[in-house]
Amino acid sequence: MAHQRNVTEGKFTKIGMDKFAVASRDRESLPGGTLFGPLIVDTPGSKWCLFELRVSGDGPFFMPQLIVGSEKAEEQNVAISLIPTSKNNAGSRTFAAPISSERLNRRLYVIPSLKSCSINNADMRVTALSKAQVAVNFLKGSLRSPKLVMKSVFKDNQGFQFASRNGRPSVSIVISSLVELATRGFPNPDQLYFGPDPRYCQWTNARFETLIPRRMLPESRELFHLQVAVIRSQSQSDDDLCLTVNSLIAAGIPQDSILTIDDGRREPQELSTTTSFEEFLEQLITLKERYILCLRAGDTVSRDLLDVLRTSSPSADPKCVYLDHDHLTTDGALHDFEFKPDCSPNSLIFRNYPSRAALVKASLATRLLHSTPALEATGVLGLLYACEMEASRNGNAGILHIAVPAIHLRRETDEEIKTRSDQEQAARYLFLGKYAPRLRVNSSPLAGSSWQSNPEPDKTVSIVIPTRNRADLLKEAIESITALTAYPHYEIVVIDNQSDDPQTVTFLRELSDRGGVAVKDFDEPFNFARMHNAVIPELLSDYILMLNNDTQVVNALWLSKMIDLFELPNIGIVGNKLLYPDHTIQHVGATGGLKGPMSHHLVGQRDELTHPILSFPRDVLAVTGACLLIPRILYLECGGMDEKLAVSYNDMDLCLSVRVNTGKAVLVSSHGGVIHKESKSRGQKFNSEQQALLNREAEYFDAKWRSHIRPDPFYNPNLSLDRDFEPW
């Protein structure tokens, strides 16, 4: 990316592009935001200069920018938008902006377009500006959009990315901001946020300066040892491949570290080394400790990808590194982000959430191919997915998550989705054969996930239902269990907490008399934790299924699917997706720090098959005790639930106790099959005494587990804790 040319006063100087873009159909094809530079400028004697960029080609030349590198590492760079001028020759366009000599003496870079464009030639020129010309530029800029001026001055670190400030800006800041705006040509911040998701573009630019490189590193920077493989399908054009290769080169990745895995039915391209998958496998052993990044033609990477990787990698040696990603439209807009959890080995089995934004050690791929030769038949995407799953078994020591959306993926075609899904399924089958041989899993991006343990286990389950009065709810819950539970080895145990309603008392007596349901009395004030701690030690079953009395089973496999998940290694607790009666989400896992110490996420949203959080089992910090499955021995080993949490957080406390004290995972099933009416038996309105109790329990729970729930490893730090699964 370092490619120097002198820019001298008074005449245009050609900027060579051979190191930044790759020829495509007799022209240069650039991905949006490709960087040229650094430039060395012979500064005129005046304090102010006019910087001009002249480009030719098909374009589009959308908001070209001059990037002024910061002098201090903690400061961000300045992006000066170049404004179209009337000095246009046939076949070319000229853009210009006034700039101080002081800035011209810094490290300068040029971005010809923020959108993907075609460019044949680029020339630059610097000329001195007199004081009168500076005054005219300032006046014209100030009059262009007074509202925009004031909006930008008073915005807090938005749009123009001024330094953060608290409260109203001082007079000196206002004046300096006005001068800054005038001399930068007043780029409209709203123009930077284009595409189908302007809000995301605005957010990611404010958080990561996506459209502006975070900082420029010296040319002698230490490189992240990377080998990139670009998969190109038969239906794709050369332009798709150019877009990907150009973005890699613009990020500073050497061209000899880029190869194309092709279908073999094309003429070889000079863009990069072209090879087959079989030849690629033979090369793996020579790559040794390099990381492999596998993209599809049409994907792009951020200009500072290498910097992100280098500065985010710890001294440890992870076998896999994955980043957040978003998607790229054909005109270069970013949208549809995927902000990922930290290492989630069980989630990864059901869904390849790192996707193509993952890097794996070549040595790991070579070792897996040696130990499991059948992996060769799964294709390149299957092999890399197997590497991700294998690395995740060692937790954060084996796999590293970098929460920066530095990779931008194009949308896959239906054919590509099917190919990837088939390759991943083949790799999943081989992986489970080693770690969970009795479990079969089928997953696809469009249909979600299904699984089955074969043969079906014969473990016994005690379904424990606490209740007080409300015979109508309890009767519906028990009848739905007995009518719709396919799993045969279960018993129902009702804990009666001082019911005094005659109808309920009669119903409980009938249950005891006819058999099939055991009724245990808990003759103390309501304490959810204590009543379970009192009854569970008396039971003899293998598993305890905690179930609320205001639930209704609607799918016969609800319990079978939960038990099947214990076939995975190191599972401690399995929860279940619960729906309200209107079939919106009531529970699908809890997030630490969300709207308080911990809260359910996605409450009230539609249960959509294609939603990745709703359609695949996931690692979570905690699940609700309204439907929670745990081995009875494990419950006792952890000391049961904390009886100081009589009303709330006792179930989440149990989950955290299992995770922290035993190292076992908490998983939420996406199968569902249970309706939950959400605490109807206790109601939703609390008096002042009840609210005070809830507040005390929240404070106690937060103090006990704060260091383990904030941050939540399964909830991306880029997401808001006020609005779940939205950028903050």
CA distance 564 to 544: 15
- Residue pair 201/63 in contact by the 8 Å Cβ criterion: no
**Per-residue model confidence as pLDDT tens digits over 246-291:** 888 778 788 888 998 876 555 555 666 788 888 888 888 898 889 9
Estimate to the nearest angstrom the gap between the alpha carbon of 287 and the chain centroid: 28
Domain shared by 374 and 513, yes or no: no
Shared domain check, 495 and 396: no
Domain CATH for 573: 3.90.550.10
Within a domain: residue 725?
no
85-120, pLDDT tens digit by residue?
865 566 788 988 888 888 888 878 888 887 777 788
Predicted confidence at residue 376, as pLDDT, reads 93
8 Å CB contact between 1 and 18? no
* pLDDT for position 2: 36
Q: Higher confidence at residue 151 or residue 650?
A: 650
Q: Same domain for 202 and 233?
A: no
Determine the 3-state secondary structure of 680 from DSSP. Answer: coil
pLDDT at 314 over 80: no
Is 455 domain-assigned? no
Sorted by sequence, the CB contacts under 8 Å of residue 163 that are 6+ apart come out as 157
Q: Is residue 280 part of a domain?
A: yes
Same-domain check for residues 259 and 349: yes
pLDDT value at residue 372: 95
405 and 466 together in one domain = no
DSSP state of 542: S
User: Residue 284, CB half-sphere, CA atoms under 13 Å: how many?
Assistant: 23
Supply the pLDDT for residue 698: 92
Neighbours of 479 (CB within 10 A): 12
In whole angstroms, give the CA distance from residue 10 to residue 84: 19
Name the E strands within 22-172. 22-24, 27-30, 36-41, 48-56, 65-68, 78-81, 83-84, 92-100, 108-111, 117-119, 121-129
Task: Quote the pTM value.
Answer: 0.83
d(CA 206, CA 212): 10
Region 137-154: what's the mean pLDDT? 56
CA 172, distance to chain mean position in Å, is 40
> 641 pLDDT exceeds 70?
yes
pLDDT at res. 295:
95
**Residues 70 and 19 reside in one and the same domain:** yes
Q: What percent of the chain has pLDDT over 70?
A: 80
Residue 132 is assigned to a structural domain of this protein: yes
Are 340 and 355 in contact by the 8 Å Cβ rule? The answer is: no
CB 621, CB 712: distance < 8 Å: yes
Residues 279 and 410 grouped into a single domain = yes
Sign of CA dihedral 243, 339, 64, 258: negative
Size of the chain, expressed as the number of residues it contains: 728
- More confident position, 525 or 3: 525
Q: Which domain holds residue 610?
A: 461-709
**Three-class DSSP category at 150:** helix
Locus of tokens 């016994």: 460
Residue 93 lies in a domain: yes
**Total tally of structural domains belonging to the chain:** 3
Same domain, 146 and 261: no
Between these two residues, 454 and 549, which has the higher pLDDT value? 549
The answer to whether residue 445 sits within a structural domain is: no
Same domain, 541 and 487: yes
Q: Are residues 230 and 361 in the same domain?
A: yes
- 405 shares a domain with 550: no
pLDDT tier for residue 220 given thresholds of 50, 70 and 90: very low
Sign of CA dihedral 378, 381, 385, 391: positive
In a domain, 46, yes or no: yes
For residue 722, tell me if it sits in a domain: no
> Do both 467 and 350 map to the same domain?
no
Structure tokens at 646: 């009589």
What pLDDT does residue 667 have? 98
Q: Are strands 590-592 and 618-619 parallel, antiparallel or unpaired?
A: unpaired
pLDDT tens digits, 481-534: 999 999 999 999 999 999 999 999 999 999 988 888 999 999 999 999 999 999
